[in-house]
């Protein structure tokens, strides 16, 4: 049969030179298969051979189309190339097809195997322009087109890279032109072609005749060096002049009112795109001193793009061409020629290629492709192994490098690449090309990578402090002063567990709770029964506890419920968090409603976290009315969805912003449902992931686009506030987050003001936006960063030893800081808050006076604050007062939020351990204004938290024991004083009806010894108190901000408790935990 030579290879390997030499020796003609070289002119940009270099050999399809024409689709190239091959053979010559556009070559060779990824429309630019007139979205940004494509054809949207505007537009064009989804058309096309391919008679040989294939290959390091030199030579030969001609031609067309699709054709050629900023500057500001920089940037950009294209060509060969050759039984006709060493190119490429061609044309037995050279054997074997390896589809974006990868294998390769490590501030050790070896040891690549990792770790560990990056300048150094009076802290030992605390308030509280626990344990363990013991489910936060065999696909809500939950999230949760960009996520919601199977896995996790937070924000009645099942079941279901989704994408090892957003929202939902110590530890995972992604560094400093920078800021400061809050809830006065970060505070912007395609930094919008609540959060966050240790300053009292006290000047500085914070918060409210702008603004205005009062209180020295008319004589008295104030803050915030849709936010900040502490104190404190305030809060808490009546929960049952005992004691005191019994609150009556043991209801057993202010043996003079802790607890400061000015993380759920069998389903964050686990 008639012979055909086909030459593959990366750019810069000498394909064209080999083709000319073979054509000269064996009477051949050359068919160009390079899409860019098909354009007329531009010999430097497209790297065409000169007339002299062609040596009189006819070259077909070279310089044959005009600059304003679209590149040929595969079907057209195949048709024209097949015709030319036939004509060349008719002249008795040898056809040689050569070029770097691999999909042209594959389309020519593999009939029925290659599904055309290029436009299915061949009407040309005029037809495309007409289509764009009808559908303006085709002229929009890649981001906008991709969003539209997700709506109409999610399969194709998930296939294309977000920046590949040409392919995204093509899929939309097919949809608009045919009324059918491109994915359906391609599926039918693939089915027909595969059927035809499978049924054809291979004994007849290839339809194009006998084929000999060459693959010109060069090792990356050698090729990259050669390509860089080639670009330098191109510049010397007039590359800038040639690109200027193209630029002038483009500007002329634009000036004439023509629409130019710059996502395809010659406008995508390497060289023109990279120098366009320079060419534009030359025209506009020819004397600008920046021209030299722009020129250098164009040269470096051209080099980088050329290297990347060469890498892409090798990957295409490995992942597409070689598998097709295997299927066509042509792999024994593929000969790799090593062009790594330019000095030996003549021998290794030219002579070997010529000899193989001679043998092929003479009909002689050809050698094995593996025996041509050591490099051929090594590369072919490795390529065949890689081509047979199944790729794992995914869509992951590296936030540092702004690069999206579509397979897990590409992702893993990227995160170990030098470019990524450099962006992550890890020094890269350049590899040195190893000499050719006849045989590589098993796993040698792995061993070499491990050795490199060891070197990197050694270098990083040995790095001296003066070698580290300089840290940005900080505000006045409160850190050093703060450490001087930072409490030493203490270890709390319970149930074989050890915890460190340096919070005076929680240290006092836990002392009392431990005494109360001993009372409960010593009286009668039969009061509760073994089945009432609350299991420890905190370990399931990480390990997971979902039912074996559970599938994410089974957990999605119904389509109608999905859209309703989305809207509830937007109304109730999003205004308080702003963790997501609504316009970006909206198309995925619509796609999921039509069928969630095509939703990207990271978006899947994020959507489940949104459904979870929506369920958390519902009341039990609302949830049952909306979904048809209980709130507990809804939260269990969506918690499982988040966990399984996160596990499936391996969130601990592969990080992207949607996955982190999902995890953070999930953490927010845990508040009020899990032990605060476990929640704080788990939040550390989010902190580390955020740091690994570089969120603590501002996106502008990393060179990220404005949109990406702004979203990273929002997520970082949200995580910051969560960690600060959970640290204090866990009894730590310092969260130990990285204080040396340069992430800026987010802007006052609506989501609609932010576009992914933006190139200029965003500016604050004047007037109210949906960010008002978060702006207050961010303002306080900045205050925390600039004033480390402020928690302890608030707690400083006369009872602290002189050696641990700050000076009066230092205290005054902090008080001024509180004043500045107050002014800044009020400025935000005055500038950006409008009560007519929606519920979140109404709530912010309603909280204004509350906010002012509390900050004024913080600015008042401790000894000048009202203490309950002389009732505060000790640290314990003060802790009792602060605990009551905390409950009063909760009540105020609930009243302010309940009619705005944000009641869930207030309820989630309920701190069970403080309420338990108050209950224990009421067993011994029977009179005084503080006691009256405390009993009012007992009634309020039980009205806001009906779950506390569930005495099958051990914690709530123990709480009921002390509430009832305290009330019995109160009845006795009031009866003795007044002669009449007090009216019994409804919550006491209900608790009496719930409790199983009559003794508990009637006989109080207060802690031993009884404690009242009258027998306190402490004072407010300088010195140490009995507990050795400062006498004004941190809670007075923290709990104010926790509930309104600080806890703007505003998520989490009201405590919902499901004990028994249901609780075992909660796993990694299920809802069934029996409320906040206080260790009794």
End-to-end Cα, the chain, rounded Å: 89
pTM of the model: 0.49
**Helix or strand or coil: residue 221?**
helix
Superfamily name with CATH number, domain 3-111+209-387? P-loop containing nucleotide triphosphate hydrolases (3.40.50.300)
124-204 and 3-111+209-387 share a CATH fold: no
Q: Check whether the bond before 1009 is cis (ω within 30° of 0).
A: yes
Q: Residue 465 burial by CB count (10 A; 0-12/13-18/19+): exposed, middle or buried?
A: exposed
Maximum CA pair distance of the chain? Answer: 126
Q: Mean pLDDT of successive 10-residue segments in the chain (1080 residues)?
A: 90 94 95 92 90 93 87 89 93 93 88 47 59 82 86 86 82 86 80 62 63 94 93 92 89 82 79 87 80 88 91 89 84 92 93 94 91 90 72 65 70 72 51 40 49 50 44 45 48 47 55 57 45 40 54 88 91 92 88 83 94 92 90 91 88 84 92 74 87 87 90 92 78 60 89 87 89 86 70 47 59 75 84 84 75 65 56 77 83 76 79 85 89 92 87 85 91 89 91 71 42 37 33 33 29 33 32 31
**Helix or strand or coil: residue 1065?**
helix
Domain residue ranges in the chain:
3-111+209-387, 124-204, 392-425, 500-533+767-1051, 536-761
What is the per-residue pLDDT for 11? 93
Considering only CA atoms, give the Rg of the chain: 36
In this structure, how many other beta carbons lie within 10 angstroms of the beta carbon of residue 147? 22
> Within 13 Å of residue 753, how many CA atoms lie on the same side as its CB?
18
What is the per-residue pLDDT for 455? 53
| Contacts with 956 (C-beta within 8 Å, 6 or more apart), sequence order | 947, 948, 949, 950, 1057, 1075
What is the per-residue pLDDT for 422? 62
What is the per-residue pLDDT for 1024? 35
Give the pair of three-digit tokens for residue 804.
């641990």
Q: What single-letter DSSP state applies at residue 572?
A: I
Give the pair of three-digit tokens for residue 380.
């072919």
What is the per-residue pLDDT for 299? 93
CA distance 288 to 279: 12
Give the pair of three-digit tokens for residue 95.
């056809």
What is the per-residue pLDDT for 874? 75
The answer regarding whether domain 124-204 maps to CATH 1.10.20.140 reads yes
């Amino acid at each position: 049969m008639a012979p055909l030579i086909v030459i593959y290879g990366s750019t810069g390997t000498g394909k064209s030179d080999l083709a000319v030499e073979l054509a000269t020796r064996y009477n051949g003609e050359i068919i160009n298969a390079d899409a860019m070289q098909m354009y007329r002119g531009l010999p430097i940009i497209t790297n065409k051979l000169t007339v002299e270099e062609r040596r009189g050999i006819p070259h077909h399809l070279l310089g044959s189309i005009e600059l304003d024409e679209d590149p040929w689709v595969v079907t057209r190239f195949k048709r024209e190339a097949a015709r030319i091959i036939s004509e060349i053979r008719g002249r008795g010559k040898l056809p040689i097809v050569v070029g770097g556009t691999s999909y042209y070559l594959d389309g020519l060779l593999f009939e029925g195997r290659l599904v055309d990824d290029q436009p299915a429309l061949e009407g040309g630019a005029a037809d495309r322009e007409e289509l764009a007139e009808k559908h303006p979205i085709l002229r929009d940004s890649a981001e906008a087109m991709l969003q539209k494509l997700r709506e109409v054809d999610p399969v194709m949207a998930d296939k294309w890279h977000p920046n590949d505007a040409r392919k995204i537009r093509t899929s939309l064009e097919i949809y608009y032109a045919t009324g059918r989804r491109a994915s359906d058309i391609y599926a039918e096309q693939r089915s027909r072609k595969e059927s035809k391919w499978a049924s054809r008679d291979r004994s007849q040989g290839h339809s194009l005749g006998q084929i000999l294939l060459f693959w010109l290959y060069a090792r990356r390091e050698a090729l990259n060096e050669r390509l860089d030199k080639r670009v330098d030579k191109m510049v010397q030969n007039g590359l800038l002049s040639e690109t200027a001609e193209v630029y002038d031609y483009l500007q002329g067309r634009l000036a004439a009112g023509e629409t130019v699709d710059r996502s395809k054709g010659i406008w995508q050629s390497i060289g023109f795109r990279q120098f366009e900023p320079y060419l534009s500057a030359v025209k506009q500001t020819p004397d600008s001193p920046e021209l030299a920089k722009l020129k250098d940037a164009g040269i470096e950009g051209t080099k980088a793009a050329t290297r990347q294209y060469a890498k892409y060509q090798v990957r295409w060969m490995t992942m597409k061409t070689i598998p097709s050759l295997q299927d066509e039984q042509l792999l024994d006709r593929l000969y790799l020629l090593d062009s790594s060493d330019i000095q030996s190119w003549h021998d290794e490429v030219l002579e070997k290629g010529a000899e193989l061609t001679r043998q092929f044309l003479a009909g002689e037995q050809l050698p094995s492709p593996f025996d041509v050279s050591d490099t051929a054997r090594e590369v072919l074997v490795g390529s065949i192994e890689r081509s047979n390896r199944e790729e794992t589809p995914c869509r992951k974006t590296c936030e540092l490098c702004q690069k999206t990868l579509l397979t897990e294998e590409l992702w893993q390769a990227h995160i170990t690449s030098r470019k990524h490590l450099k962006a992550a501030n890890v020094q890269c050790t350049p590899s040195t090309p190893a000499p050719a070896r006849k045989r590589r040891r098993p796993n040698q690549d792995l061993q070499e990578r491990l050795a490199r990792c060891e070197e990197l770790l050694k270098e990083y560990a040995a790095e001296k402090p003066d070698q580290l990056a300089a840290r940005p300048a900080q505000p006045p150094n409160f850190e050093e002063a703060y450490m001087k009076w930072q409490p030493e802290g203490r270890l709390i030992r319970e149930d074989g567990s050890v915890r460190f605390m340096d919070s005076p308030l929680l240290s006092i509280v836990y002392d009392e709770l431990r005494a109360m626990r001993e009372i409960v344990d010593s009286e009668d363990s039969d009061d509760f029964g073994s089945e009432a013991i609350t299991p420890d489910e905190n370990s399931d936060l990480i390990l997971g506890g979902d039912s074996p065999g559970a599938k994410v696909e089974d957990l999605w809500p119904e389509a109608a419920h999905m859209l309703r939950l989305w809207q509830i999230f937007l109304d109730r949760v999003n205004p308080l968090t702003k963790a997501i960009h609504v316009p970006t996520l909206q198309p995925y919601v619509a796609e999921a409603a039509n069928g969630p199977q095509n939703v990207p896995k990271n978006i899947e996790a994020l959507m489940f976290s949104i459904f979870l937070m929506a369920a958390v924000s519902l009341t039990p009645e609302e949830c049952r009315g909306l979904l048809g099942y209980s709130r507990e079941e809804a939260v269990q279901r969506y918690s499982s969805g988040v966990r399984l989704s996160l596990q499936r994408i391996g969130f601990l090892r592969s990080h992207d912003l949607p996955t982190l957003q999902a995890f953070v929202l999930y953490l927010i939902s845990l508040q009020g449902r899990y032990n605060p110590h476990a929640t704080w530890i788990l939040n550390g995972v989010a902190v580390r992931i955020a740091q690994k992604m570089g969120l603590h560094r501002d996106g502008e400093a990393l060179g990220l686009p404005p949109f990406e920078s702004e979203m990273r800021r929002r997520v970082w400061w949200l995580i910051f506030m969560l960690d600060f809050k959970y640290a204090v809830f866990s009894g730590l006065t310092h969260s130990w987050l990285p204080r040396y970060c340069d992430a800026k505070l987010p802007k006052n912007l609506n989501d609609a003001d932010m576009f992914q395609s933006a190139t200029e930094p965003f500016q604050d919008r004047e007037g109210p936006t949906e960010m008002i609540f978060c702006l207050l959060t961010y303002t306080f966050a900045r205050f925390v960063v600039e004033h480390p240790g402020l928690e302890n300053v608030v707690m400083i009292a006369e009872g602290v030893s002189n050696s641990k006290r700050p000076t009066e000047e230092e205290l005054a500085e902090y008080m001024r800081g509180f004043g500045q914070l107050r002014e800044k918060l009020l400025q935000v409210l005055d500038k950006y808050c409008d009560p007519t702008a929606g519920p979140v603004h109404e709530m912010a205005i309603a909280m204004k006076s509350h906010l002012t009062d509390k900050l004024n209180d913080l600015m008042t020295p401790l000894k000048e604050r009202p203490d309950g008319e002389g009732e505060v004589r000790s640290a314990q008295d003060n802790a009792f007062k602060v605990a009551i104030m905390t409950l009063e803050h909760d009540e105020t915030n609930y009243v302010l939020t309940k009619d705005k849709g944000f009641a869930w936010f207030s309820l989630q900040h309920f701190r069970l351990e403080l309420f338990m502490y108050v209950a224990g104190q009421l067993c011994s404190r029977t009179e005084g204004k503080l006691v009256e305030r405390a009993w009012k809060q007992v009634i309020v808490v039980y009205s806001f938290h009906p779950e506390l009546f569930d005495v099958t929960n051990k914690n709530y049952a123990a709480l009921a024991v002390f509430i009832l005992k305290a009330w019995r004691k109160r009845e006795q005191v009031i009866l003795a004083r007044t002669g009449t019994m007090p009216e019994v609150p409804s919550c006491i009556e209900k608790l009496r009806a719930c409790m199983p043991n009559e003794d508990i209801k009637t006989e109080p057993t207060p802690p031993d010894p009884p404690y009242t202010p009258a027998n306190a043996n402490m004072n407010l003079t300088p010195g140490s108190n009995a507990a050795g802790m400062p006498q004004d607890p941190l809670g007075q400061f923290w709990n104010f901000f926790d509930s309104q000015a600080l806890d703007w993380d505003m998520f989490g759920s009201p405590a919902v408790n499901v004990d028994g069998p249901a609780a075992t389903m909660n796993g990694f964050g299920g809802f069934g935990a029996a409320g906040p686990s206080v260790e009794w």
